[in-house]
Amino acid sequence: MSSTFGQVFRIHTFGESHGGGVGVVIDGCPPCIPVSLEQIQQELDRRRPGQSDIVTPRNEADTAEILSGIHDGLTLGTPISIIVRNTDQRPGSYDEMAVKYRPSHADYTYDAKYGIRAPSGGGRASARETIGRVAAAAVARQVLDTLNPGIEILAWVKSVHDLNADVDPATVTAETIESNIVRTGDPAMVDVMIERIKTIRTDGNSIGGVIECVIRNCPPGLGEPIFDKLEADLAKAMLSIPATKGFEIGSGFAGTLLTGREHNDPFHMVDGKVRTTSNRSGGVQGGISNGEHILIRVAFKPTATIMTSQETVTSSGENTELSGKGRHDACVLPRAVPIVEAMATLVLTDHLLRQRCVAVVR
């Protein structure tokens, strides 16, 4: 039950960092949606290693192949399966790690859960698993564009370590974000963030930060009001991304410092539409979108892999030490931006299709 996401637009991811490859099966995609392999590949390229000199130098081309569900550029309504072959595997780099549990990785917990573990690398806990999510979201993106044109979903690096970007969620553009390798929305912070990441990497250390994501032009009425609240499904989606430790919507934790009088969003009419004059709700009220910008933030801890000797234990229960090796990200945030967008896109697409089931007939 563990690798399925979504209720109507359902994705099933599979694959480990070793073995034949990784991928995804998308079930529940409406038919007649235009989808091209290029669009999928483009999104995969945004998350792949080796794309710039501040991410891991592993060179994984991550070339997508569509096995089914799309013909002549249109979805058939049948399951869409996409695979990406594993290539640049260097099991040798991981030999020591097969025996010693890497601190703050999933080595020990996989052993505790399954009694067996992939012999090298992160196995299923590898970030390669997110390839399937990103590929599926590229398809979902086309569903949104076809069924409800105008919805924009943009994420950017809000902070790296203690460096904060100043970004206006209402106006920031994809061009601005993609114009720099950090993927921040604040041009003034690009150089200092790059500098920080490189310094940390040189030190064999790692850092985290916060990614912010906005959904603009979301129609009101999406989200199921009890357990599958839009913010609840977004929270789950974000906390399912490796290395995340926190989630906020709208005012978030800072909102606990306001009184109700300060926090409430007054309604008023604008061009015949119900709008709010402030947006501390973050675009969602009672679990359902209200038509304002949906604004969320996700906390990413520093990468667990560091090039320092650390205390740990072996799988046979002996205290030992382990020094990080291999080629990893000193800061995952630039590559996590497309993953945050992907998960937000999957949640929104699923809720858009769910809403069709129960839509009022007038």
Strand partners, 81: 25, 68
Return the amino acid letter for 48. Answer: R
Nearer to a copy of itself, 67 or 170 (CB): 67
Window 146 to 185, contacts with a copy of itself (CB under 8 A): 146-147, 159, 161-162
- Stretch touching a copy of itself by CB under 8 A, among 40-48, 56-64, 89-97, 293-301: 293-301
- Chosen residue from 92, 168, 175, 358 binding a copy of itself by CB under 8 A: 358
The reply to whether 306 sits near a copy of itself by the rule CB under 8 A is: yes
Q: How big is the site for a copy of itself, counted in residues (CB under 8 A)?
A: 162
Query: How many Cβ atoms from other residues are within 10 Å of residue 236's Cβ?
Result: 14
Cβ 53 to a copy of itself, closest distance in Å?
19
- Stretch touching a copy of itself by CB under 8 A, among 34-42, 134-142, 176-184, 290-298: 290-298
Backbone angles phi, psi at 42, to 5 degrees: -60, -40
193: left (phi over 0), alpha (psi -120 to 50) or beta: alpha
- How buried is residue 291: exposed, middle or buried, by Cβ count under 10 Å (0-12/13-18/19+)? middle
Cβ 40 to a copy of itself, closest distance in Å?
14
Nearest-5° angle of CA 2, CA 128, CA 35? 85
The rounded distance, in Å, linking the Cα atoms of 167 and 169 is 6
Cβ 341 to a copy of itself, closest distance in Å?
17
Cβ 140 to a copy of itself, closest distance in Å?
14
Cβ 175 to a copy of itself, closest distance in Å?
26
CB-based contact 35:103 (threshold 8 Å): no
- Chosen residue from 59, 109, 202, 323 binding a copy of itself by CB under 8 A: 109
Residue carrying the six token digits 């740990």:
312
Cβ 205 to a copy of itself, closest distance in Å?
5
Nearer to a copy of itself, 53 or 262 (CB): 262
- Stretch touching a copy of itself by CB under 8 A, among 54-62, 167-175, 270-278, 334-342: 270-278
Please, what is the end-to-end C-alpha distance for the chain in angstroms? 38
- Chosen residue from 34, 73, 119, 150 binding a copy of itself by CB under 8 A: 119
Window 315 to 344, contacts with a copy of itself (CB under 8 A): 317-319
Contacts of 325 (CB under 8 A, 6+ apart): 93, 96, 307
Cβ 132 to a copy of itself, closest distance in Å?
9
Window 12 to 71, contacts with a copy of itself (CB under 8 A): 12-16, 18-23, 25, 27-32, 65-69, 71
Return the amino acid letter for 263. Answer: H
Window 82 to 101, contacts with a copy of itself (CB under 8 A): 83, 101
Report residue 71 as tokens.
């013909």
Nearer to a copy of itself, 89 or 104 (CB): 104
SS3 of residue 140 by DSSP: helix
The rounded distance, in Å, linking the Cα atoms of 144 and 152 is 9
The reply to whether 108 sits near a copy of itself by the rule CB under 8 A is: yes
Query: How many Cβ atoms from other residues are within 10 Å of residue 108's Cβ?
Result: 16
**In terms of Cα–Cα distance, which of 87, 86, 69 is closest to 78?**
69
The reply to whether 294 sits near a copy of itself by the rule CB under 8 A is: no
Binding flags for a copy of itself, 186-225, as an x/- string (CB under 8 A) = --------------x----xxxxxx---------xxxxxx
Nearer to a copy of itself, 119 or 150 (CB): 119
Contacts of 23 (CB under 8 A, 6+ apart): 13, 14, 15, 81, 82, 83, 84, 131, 132, 135
Cβ 209 to a copy of itself, closest distance in Å?
5
The reply to whether 287 sits near a copy of itself by the rule CB under 8 A is: yes
Report residue 140 as tokens.
């979902």
